[in-house]
A and B are shown apart, each in its own frame.
Chain A
Amino acid sequence: MSEPKPRYGRIVLAPEDFLPTRGLSRRAFFDLLAAGGAAAVSAAVAGRAQADDANLPPHVPPWSKRLGAPVNAAYGQPSPYERNIIRREDPGLTPTREASVVFTPLQNLFGIITPSGLHFERDHGGRPDINPYEHRLMIHGLVRQPKIYTVEDILRFPSVSRIHFIECGANSAMEVRNVSVPTVQYTHGMLGCSEFTGVLLSTLLDDVGYDKKRARFILAEGADAASLTRTIPIEAALDDAMVVYGQNGEMLRPENGYPLRLLVPGFQGISNVKWLRRLKVGDQPFNTREETLHYSDLMPDGKTRQYTWIQEAKSVITSPSGGQQLLDRGYYQITGLAWSGRGKIRRVDVSTDGGRNWHPARLQDPILSKALTRFRFDWHWDGSPALLQSRCIDETGYVQPTVTQWRAVRGTRSIYHYNAIQTWKVDPDGKVSNVQVA
């Protein structure tokens, strides 16, 4: 009996594994020609022919033999070799780039914190360029004293720092009816998690003397072209909502609300109104465009659920995931993220056979309320087809549903709150792709 032939994926071998690369393949040559012209090609070919094996042991590479660059006093940038780790648009998703979205490259990230420059951006009227010295936050309505705060005022209030996720209510929307995008960047990339610093909204509401008897809802409004508005219920406003200025140790990035944004942990992303300019305390919900025509859920019976704020528990494997290629049989670490708008993640299970059998994954500390939790699972791929899934359970006992369970209740007309179990198919050649299973 002969051994079954190993079926490798598309391997571009590291030079030390096999023959040193002498020059480039024909294909690579033409690509370079197209991209950079003849000069680039000769530079690259010359560099490559001499560089590759000459830089590897037992040889000593040039960067060990000459001084490096001087210290960098400017804002630090990632290595140029990380240049393709960027937010991306789903081509053709929106008619204009001002009312559009770019997705977080979850497939390339570690841990639970999303680097600020990779945090997804969703705008409804473009990203404003706000002078923080001329930005004001107005709080009025059912209050004893309507007030205006400068950004400096807000920075002087007692502050808190907390780690929370922000997930767009429409995250994974493209997958409600069928598979329609190839990678986890597009299936789940309207998701980020940051350490936010700011003032508890309750502190500010006390400062204006909100009307404790009549206040039931707060309108939050942005200073952008869309002056985007959302209704926030008073319970959440008094619980853990914050007016935020800090993100991951620095001021918010313009695309995430510089200089002030609202944060309502666990709520649909859009509730975290960016470029916050106004909070109005009221006794009725405000029925804005973003909670009627959008971000509301059309149910199978034709009725529409309004004010569905909470993001329910959800998880996804970020590696291996769609678009990746297992190079050979052997050990792979399955890893991904889990989160819940209702509190902490209690458990994550992983299946490699499409949900027939499940195994508990390891959870990485810290496990925080309404924050991303990283999970990991050891897996030896034997070369046979596999269907990788993760399923999370949050501290309320809620279990992330399958696609079939989700659709049985919510139908396929609403695009919001889609939190079904994600499946990645692994072909015998190691190719990983996005599928849905039943």
Chain B
Amino acid sequence: MSKWLEFMPRALLATQIVLVFGFTPQVTAATGYGLGRPATPAEIAGWDIDVRPDGQGLPPGRGSVAEGEKIYGEKCASCHGDFGDNPQYAQLAGGVGSLAGSSPVWTVGSALNNATTLFDYINRAMPFPNPKSLTPDEVYALSAYILNLSNIVPADAVLDQKTLPQVKMPNRDGFILFPGLMTAHGKSDIHAVACMHDCVKQVKVISELPAGFTEKFFGDISQEFRGLNTMNQTGEPQWVRVALNDSSAAPPSGYALAQKNGCTACHATDHKIVGPAYRDVAAKYQGDAQALEKLKAKVRKGGAGVWGEVPMPPQTQVSDGDLDAILKWVLSGGATTP
């Protein structure tokens, strides 16, 4: 014990002496773990991408609605629709003023409170298959175009570090704080009591699944229970034998590569998403010896017209090797199970 006390101050002193020559005199001396290292301004600048409602964090740059329209057509419209109106993906435009009505339409235009959040999100997360690939100018332009789709900024608007935070969003004052749900010790706004006996006069079923719904959308749900102890049967369920004889393991690598390269965001094997079903692509090019090379070029460059109006954005992120493997797999039918 006394030994410890004796050594303690000296140990601390030693840390301090070392640290005077380092970067962090007070901080690390206080805890003394000596872990981590100072982050340099350049390192911070590379990652510090968030933008606050007051505009803090916005990079220099500018972009107009017209510039945004062009980029949007190339990189965003395939998923979000020409006018930001495809509800299949997050809807970007429309619905302004609808939130208090009987059928609210929740979009960037109708619901967002600050344009800075739109910039922040596009900059970090879009386009969905290639995030962090846009320049600040492009993000300003895309923000301007998306806001113009809901008539929040005029068609000749140019947004930059100064003007973007000033955009008055229709729902700017639509957000409120409810302290009851902000801390563990807050008070709820729902006050039920724990009655024990004769609590309701008559119990009425007010909602259940329509007949056939479960089978149609979920298939045979009895399969989703353990054969033992689920009450569904006392014997061995049928799938056991089938499963034990079935060698289907991981999906083949073509599918894994398509997933890795973001193709599955727009393509599935057996149904159209944004792009055609891979099964249909295989059928179309069956017997075409040039198909592989043609499709390689097409996927790299992107483009529209073969399957419809919607273009495929250029897929520059995928390596030659991956693309070759993916397309061979696509042309073989794109099976997700052997």
- Is A312 touching B188 in the complex (CB atoms < 8 A)? yes
**A145: contacting residue among B27, B50, B113, CB under 8 A:** B27
Q: A14-B234, A36-B245 are in contact. Are A303 and B207 (CB under 8 A)?
A: no
- Chain B contacts of A430 at CB under 8 A? 231
Interface membership of chain A positions 351-374, coded 1 if the CB is closer than 8 angstroms to chain B and 0 otherwise: 001111111000000000000000
- Is A296 touching B234 in the complex (CB atoms < 8 A)? no
**B241: contacting residue among A44, A287, A325, A326, CB under 8 A:** A44
- In A312-368, the 8 Å CB interface with B consists of 312, 319-320, 323-327, 332, 341-343, 347, 349, 353-359
A5 at the interface (CB under 8 A from B): no
Q: Which residue of A lies closest to B204 (CB)?
A: A438
**B177: contacting residue among A32, A305, A353, CB under 8 A:** A305
**B44: contacting residue among A146, A185, A326, A417, CB under 8 A:** A146
Interface membership of chain A positions 118-153, coded 1 if the CB is closer than 8 angstroms to chain B and 0 otherwise: 000000111000000000001110001111111001
- Is B53 touching A306 in the complex (CB atoms < 8 A)? no
A80 at the interface (CB under 8 A from B): yes
A226 at the interface (CB under 8 A from B): yes
Q: How large is the interface on B (under 10, 10 to 19, 20 to 34, 35 or more residues)?
A: 35 or more
A307 at the interface (CB under 8 A from B): yes
Q: A227-B131, A284-B54, A293-B108 are in contact. Are A309 and B182 (CB under 8 A)?
A: yes
- Chain B contacts of A406 at CB under 8 A? 190
- Is A145 touching B192 in the complex (CB atoms < 8 A)? no
B290 at the interface (CB under 8 A from A): no
Q: Which residue of B lies closest to A332 (CB)?
A: B231
- Chain B contacts of A207 at CB under 8 A? 27-28, 31, 33, 35-36
A179 at the interface (CB under 8 A from B): yes
A437 at the interface (CB under 8 A from B): yes
B19 CB to closest chain A CB (Å) equals 10
A286 CB to closest chain B CB (Å) equals 6
Segment among A59-67, A68-76, A245-253, A391-399 that sits at the interface with chain B = A391-399
A313 CB to closest chain B CB (Å) equals 9
A4 at the interface (CB under 8 A from B): no
**B199: contacting residue among A98, A301, A357, CB under 8 A:** A357
CA separation between A358 and B196, bound complex, in Å? 5
Q: A157-B35, A405-B192 are in contact. Are A298 and B242 (CB under 8 A)?
A: no
- In A76-120, the 8 Å CB interface with B consists of 80-85, 88, 91-92, 95-99, 105, 107-108
Interface membership of chain A positions 1-33, coded 1 if the CB is closer than 8 angstroms to chain B and 0 otherwise: 000000001111111010001000000100110
- Is B124 touching A304 in the complex (CB atoms < 8 A)? no
Segment among B3-11, B115-123, B151-159 that sits at the interface with chain A = B115-123
A278 at the interface (CB under 8 A from B): yes
- Is B218 touching A125 in the complex (CB atoms < 8 A)? no
- Is A398 touching B264 in the complex (CB atoms < 8 A)? no
Q: A82-B226, A208-B27, A327-B231 are in contact. Are A306 and B184 (CB under 8 A)?
A: no
- Is B200 touching A355 in the complex (CB atoms < 8 A)? yes
- Chain B contacts of A292 at CB under 8 A? 111-114, 117, 175
B186 at the interface (CB under 8 A from A): yes
B273 CB to closest chain A CB (Å) equals 7
Interface membership of chain B positions 25-53, coded 1 if the CB is closer than 8 angstroms to chain A and 0 otherwise: 01110110101111100011001111011
- Is B48 touching A91 in the complex (CB atoms < 8 A)? no
- Is A287 touching B116 in the complex (CB atoms < 8 A)? yes
Q: A81-B227, A357-B196 are in contact. Are A308 and B181 (CB under 8 A)?
A: yes
- Chain B contacts of A312 at CB under 8 A? 181, 188, 190
- Chain A contacts of B121 at CB under 8 A? 288-289
Size of interface on A: residues with Cβ below 8 Å to B: 144
- Is A400 touching B178 in the complex (CB atoms < 8 A)? no
A99 CB to closest chain B CB (Å) equals 8
- Is A349 touching B244 in the complex (CB atoms < 8 A)? no
Q: Which residue of B lies closest to A185 (CB)?
A: B224
- Is A12 touching B237 in the complex (CB atoms < 8 A)? yes
Interface membership of chain B positions 178-200, coded 1 if the CB is closer than 8 angstroms to chain A and 0 otherwise: 10011111101111111111111
- Is B224 touching A88 in the complex (CB atoms < 8 A)? yes
**A12: contacting residue among B44, B205, B233, CB under 8 A:** B233
A240 CB to closest chain B CB (Å) equals 9
Q: A280-B48, A304-B174, A417-B181 are in contact. Are A434 and B231 (CB under 8 A)?
A: no
CA separation between A282 and B237, bound complex, in Å? 56
**B265: contacting residue among A43, A96, A219, CB under 8 A:** A96
- Chain A contacts of B214 at CB under 8 A? 182, 323
- Is A401 touching B192 in the complex (CB atoms < 8 A)? yes
27 residue pairs from A and B, CB less than 8 Å apart: A36-B245, A48-B241, A84-B223, A96-B264, A99-B128, A144-B24, A146-B39, A179-B207, A179-B209, A207-B28, A207-B31, A219-B50, A227-B132, A229-B124, A287-B116, A289-B120, A293-B106, A293-B112, A303-B174, A304-B99, A305-B177, A323-B225, A342-B184, A356-B198, A358-B194, A399-B194, A437-B204
Ranked 9 nearest A-B pairs via Cβ? A302-B100, A354-B203, A209-B27, A12-B233, A308-B181, A289-B121, A399-B192, A436-B207, A147-B36
